[in-house]
């Protein structure tokens, strides 16, 4: 054993390696991404790792590995679970031979997601056991337990960390590589009665799953990840005659524990920790409820623990007040904070906050810093080219999930819809079929094209849509940290492979008109958009230029070229460059347009749109 200072996601990855994981597959999505990246970085011989094209592919690959007796881990964020749900729902009925852990990182806030959906609900829906760590150290231990649990009961198991667990840092004891479990892979054993899902098999296994989960509820009541801590004299009642209890899960438990430990000794309270929200440890919860008169539930996202306690109390005829999100004592949306947990607990216990503590109420608000496309981002040039080409026309611009979602911000204002990954291509078709006078565009990134937009493009060709598919190819999965994808030519195993051509793929599914253009060649880009959008049927424009954050050779070149500059004698201060493209490197200084040299990459887009030629330099 040795000590390391680790991010929660790194701790989860090392826990998986310590448990002898043989196969890791996933799709990048904040806050889960670093788990797979850490496995790729720290893995030993015999551990296979890949970024799959999407979460469904990752789940199915991991299932195949687990069928073969391997220990497999699949990683994703909460909205990725929607994509993986089809195989997962059936996989629970089939079961696994080796261990299969499904890491789903929930994103309260949401900080970088479309939704605040709660995976604990999905656990109950799919009947898959779920573990909910409260710290990086517990996440390290829990994933090892999850693999053992999965193998013992032949079921996938959820590990559900939230953002503050994934991205918190802690110093913890971890195993040395030579201490890692070596998990042998037996290989796939043919048995059509087990691995081929038919209604008769599903019916039989459904009943077995229900019975198994009843058993697991009892097992979890004795699991060390659950438990009750007493503060003060557990027999002592408060002034109003109540026995107080607090129930918490995930990072909210860490906040509650910190607060309870600071309470005066004459304050009596019991703290229930729920580390296994499904199956719910009812026996443990029943004992806790019988020893309390009033309970405050603190948890992130939905009132899952709170509802389970209400159900347990009702089922067992226990008279107890259960407060939380349902009662308005805990807010229903967003992340919990330590300060909010402290305030809720003090109010619940009837304790006034110590006025000698630092008062933060009069602190000034933090400045608003909206997300923005980077200086030199090719997406800005792509959006601007389409906007200029469509001036005066009735057009709709359907966006997708990625950096380019930021194209909705002013002054570009080029994203009219955004729902989920790959949806823009089909939404465009829905609008176009019912509003044929509209010129329809769908914007999608290169990684998202491979992940979930190909089927939409096939649907458009098959159903004779009239639309322009715009693929923003910046040669990476930029928004989640520049992971490779099928179009980049390399894998997480470090292999150099044949790139999957977007052009060839589009031609292969029947898109006859496909043009590739550099969006930073503004006049050519505008001309291409005008020409293709006027054609009938499905046509595609690939705006190809690398992400400014990863193109090391280009960055070196741009440093030699230098940023653009403004000729003060030519500049008429019309501010068109600022008003039209919104590049963060274009600023107002001393009431005049200026270039922020620390941000400018010399891409030259502003130079091309200046009406008086006052901007020069940069990349010729």
What integer is the mean pLDDT of 37-60? 94
Between 198 and 131, where is the model more confident?
131
* Per-residue confidence (pLDDT) for residue 250, from 0 to 100: 95
The answer to whether 74 and 46 have CB atoms below 8 angstroms apart is no
What integer is the mean pLDDT of 32-48? 95
User: pLDDT-based confidence at 486, cuts 50/70/90?
Assistant: confident
Number of H-type helices and E-type strands within the chain = 22, 22
pTM exceeds cut of 0.75: yes
Mean pLDDT of the chain: 91
Between 551 and 184, where is the model more confident?
184
* Per-residue confidence (pLDDT) for residue 67, from 0 to 100: 95
* Per-residue confidence (pLDDT) for residue 237, from 0 to 100: 57
Please say if the pLDDT value at position 491 is more than 90.
no
CA 180 centroid distance within chain = 29
Q: Is 578 in a helix, a strand, or coil? A: helix
Please say if the pLDDT value at position 559 is more than 70.
no
The answer to whether 286 and 226 have CB atoms below 8 angstroms apart is no
Percent of the chain with pLDDT over 70: 95
Span between the terminal Cα atoms of the chain, in Å: 56
Cα 28 to Cα 48: distance, rounded to the nearest angstrom: 17
Nearest 5°: phi and psi at 77? Answer: -100, 180
Please say if the pLDDT value at position 264 is more than 60.
yes
**Cα–Cα distance list, 387 to 252, 284, 390 (Å):** 46, 61, 5
The answer to whether 444 and 469 have CB atoms below 8 angstroms apart is yes
**Cα–Cα distance list, 248 to 4, 117, 280, 339 (Å):** 27, 18, 13, 15
* Per-residue confidence (pLDDT) for residue 555, from 0 to 100: 56
Please say if the pLDDT value at position 310 is more than 60.
yes
HEC sequence for 499-549: CCCHHHHHHHCCCCEEEEECCCCHHHHHHHHHHHHCCCCEEEEEEECCCCC
Between 218 and 555, where is the model more confident?
218
């Amino acid at each position: 054993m040795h000590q390391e200072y680790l991010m929660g996601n790194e701790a989860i990855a090392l826990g998986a390696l310590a448990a002898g994981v043989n196969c890791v597959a996933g799709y990048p999505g904040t806050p889960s991404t670093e788990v797979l990246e850490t496995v790729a970085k720290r893995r030993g011989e015999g551990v296979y790792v890949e970024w799959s094209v999407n979460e469904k592919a990752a789940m199915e690959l991991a299932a195949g590995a687990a069928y073969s007796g391997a220990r497999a881990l699949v990683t994703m964020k909460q909205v990725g679970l929607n994509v993986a749900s089809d195989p997962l729902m059936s996989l629970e009925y089939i079961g696994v031979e080796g261990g299969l852990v499904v890491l789903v990182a929930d994103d309260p806030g949401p900080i970088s997601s479309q939704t605040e959906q709660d995976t604990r609900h999905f656990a109950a829906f799919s009947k898959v056991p779920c573990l909910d760590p409260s710290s990086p150290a517990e996440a390290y231990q829990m994933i090892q337990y999850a693999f053992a649990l999965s193998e013992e009961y032949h079921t996938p198991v959820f590990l559900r960390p939230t953002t503050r667990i994934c991205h918190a840092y802690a110093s913890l004891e971890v195993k040395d590589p030579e201490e890692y479990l070596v998990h042998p892979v037996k290989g796939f054993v043919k048995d059509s009665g087990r691995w081929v899902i038919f209604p008769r098999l599903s019916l039989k296994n459904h009943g077995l799953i229900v019975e198994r989960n009843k058993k697991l509820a009892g097992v979890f009541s004795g699991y060390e990840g659950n438990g009750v801590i007493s503060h003060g004299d557990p027999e002592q009642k408060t002034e109003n005659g109540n026995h107080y209890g607090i129930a918490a899960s995930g990072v909210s438990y860490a906040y509650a524990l910190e607060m309870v430990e600071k309470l005066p000794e004459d304050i009596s309270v019991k703290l229930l920790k729920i580390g296994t929200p499904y199956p719910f440890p009812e026996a443990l919860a029943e004992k806790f409820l019988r020893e309390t008169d009033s309970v405050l539930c603190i948890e992130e996202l939905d009132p899952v623990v709170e509802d389970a306690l209400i159900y347990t109390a009702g089922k067992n005829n226990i008279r107890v007040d259960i407060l939380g999100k349902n009662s308005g004592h805990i807010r229903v949306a967003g992340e919990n904070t330590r300060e909010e947990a402290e305030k809720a607990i003090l109010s619940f216990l009837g304790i006034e906050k110590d006025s000698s503590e630092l008062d933060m109420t009069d602190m000034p608000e933090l400045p608003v810093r909206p997300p923005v496309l980077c200086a030199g981002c090719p997406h800005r040039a792509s959006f601007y080219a389409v906007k200029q080409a469509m001036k005066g026309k009735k057009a709709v611009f359907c966006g997708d999930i990625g950096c380019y979602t930021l194209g909705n911000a002013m002054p570009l204002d080029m994203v009219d819809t955004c729902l989920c990954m790959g949806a823009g291509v089909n939404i465009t078709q829905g609008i176009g079929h019912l509003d044929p006078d509209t010129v329809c565009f769908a914007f999608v990134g290169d990684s998202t094209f491979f992940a979930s937009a190909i089927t939409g493009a096939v649907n458009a060709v098959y159903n004779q849509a009239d639309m322009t598919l715009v693929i923003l190819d910046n040669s990476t999965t930029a928004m989640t940290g520049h992971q490779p994808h099928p179009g980049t030519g390399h894998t997480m195993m470090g292999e150099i492979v044949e790139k999957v051509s977007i052009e060839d793929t589009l031609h292969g599914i029947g898109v006859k008109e496909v043009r590739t253009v550099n969006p930073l060649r503004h006049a050519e880009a505008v001309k291409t958009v005008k020409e293709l959008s006027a054609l009938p049927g499905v046509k595609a424009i690939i705006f190809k230029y690398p992400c400014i954050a990863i193109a090391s050779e280009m960055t070196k070149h741009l440093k030699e070229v230098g940023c653009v500059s403004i000729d003060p004698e030519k500049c008429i201060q019309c501010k068109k460059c600022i008003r039209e493209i919104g590049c963060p490197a274009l600023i107002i200084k001393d009431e005049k347009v200026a270039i922020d040299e620390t941000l400018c990459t010399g891409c030259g887009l502003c130079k091309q749109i200046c009406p008086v030629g006052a901007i020069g330099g940069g990349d010729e």
